[in-house]
Amino acid sequence: MLNQAENKQPNSKVFIQTIKPFVSFYKQLPEYSKQTNRLKKETIALRQIITKAKDPEKAFFEDFPTAFGYSLTELHKNKKQADNFIVRLQDSIRELRTAYDELIERFEQYLIREIIGTEQSFPVYKDVMRKRFKELKAHLLLAHQKPFYTRLQSELDDRKAWLASIAQACINKSLTSITDEDELILFDRVKDLVYELDNLCELSVSTVDDEQEEVLKLEITSLVKGLNRSLLRVSKGKSKEVEKKLQEIKKLLGKDKKINITILTKLLQELLSND
């Protein structure tokens, strides 16, 4: 696996040279990869062994095999098991190496499915987002909205860098160092920020792709609560989910049209006031 020369009588120096690639590999990982638990159990166990390894000989002949459910005796007697061990060890190293890339991929897919609603690759979907906020009045932005808007309009042409910059604007933390809990917060935060910016935009034909999304502008006025406005942009990819919920709600409503409208209006007011 390490492409090192065979040695029939390895000493401590040889073992130290052998463990070095693992330690160097670990040090070069992003902080996210060093702490995420979105990995196989054996990969997490391997990562922990590498971080705490003080005795290279023990690490190789006891800890590494144990992490994958093997014993040294078993590996010594069964070449097939030894080969399997090496394959699984390589898979775990690969999983650690690509953990951050997988995070980037999940964030990108969330943007595409939940926000943009069009199966486009970078930089096409970046241009879609920039066009979406083309008519936005930037001077109306609040302090927490400005960094997000600025990153969306960035000229960055590197996919990872652009996505990482968007994420950082959402949670004020580098994507390379977020935790698993931060990832869940990130998805909610990016959806909230896009919704906030949508409601600051002036709608125009040039900013709406009616083949990809449905756009609704709501204005509800009451004598007590005043005027509530909301702009909703829902991707056509969500149409089945919307239709299913619509039918469920219809079944709950009665035959009195006025009461139905009142119920739905009050529900809308409640949802908009929560925003």
Residue 206 has pLDDT above 50, yes or no: no
pLDDT tens-digit series, residues 217-249: 777 766 566 656 677 777 777 778 888 988 999
CB-facing half-sphere around the CA of 45: CA atoms within 13 A: 14
Q: Which residues contact 79 (CB under 8 A, 6 or more apart)?
A: none
Domain containing 97 equals 12-101
Q: How many domains does the chain contain in total?
A: 3
pLDDT tens-digit series, residues 102-126: 999 999 999 998 888 778 899 999 9
pLDDT of amino acid 199: 79
Are 93 and 128 members of one domain? no
Taking the alpha carbons of 94, 96, 97, 98 in that order, is the dihedral positive or negative? positive
Q: Is residue 5 part of a domain?
A: no
Taking the alpha carbons of 70, 74, 75, 76 in that order, is the dihedral positive or negative? positive
Identify the three-state secondary structure at position 219.
strand
pLDDT of amino acid 210: 63
Residue 152 has pLDDT above 90, yes or no: yes
Are 190 and 123 members of one domain? yes
Are 69 and 86 members of one domain? yes
> Using CA atoms, how far apart are residues 108 and 113, in angstroms rounded to an integer?
9
Q: 222 has which bridge partners?
A: 226
Q: For 141, phi and psi rounded to 5 degrees?
A: -65, 140
pTM: 0.75
- From 185, 207, 229, give the residue that closes a domain: 207
Are 176 and 250 members of one domain? no
Place of tokens 């943009």: 116
Q: Is residue 108 part of a domain?
A: no
Q: Is residue 256 part of a domain?
A: yes
Q: Is residue 173 part of a domain?
A: yes
- From 155, 185, 207, give the residue that closes a domain: 207
Are 88 and 132 members of one domain? no
Average pLDDT over residues 34-42: 96
At residue 161 the predicted structure's pLDDT band, cuts being 50, 70 and 90, is very high
> Average model confidence (pLDDT) for the chain?
85
Are 232 and 194 members of one domain? no
Are 24 and 78 members of one domain? yes
- From 40, 72, 101, give the residue that closes a domain: 101
> Using CA atoms, how far apart are residues 50 and 53, in angstroms rounded to an integer?
5
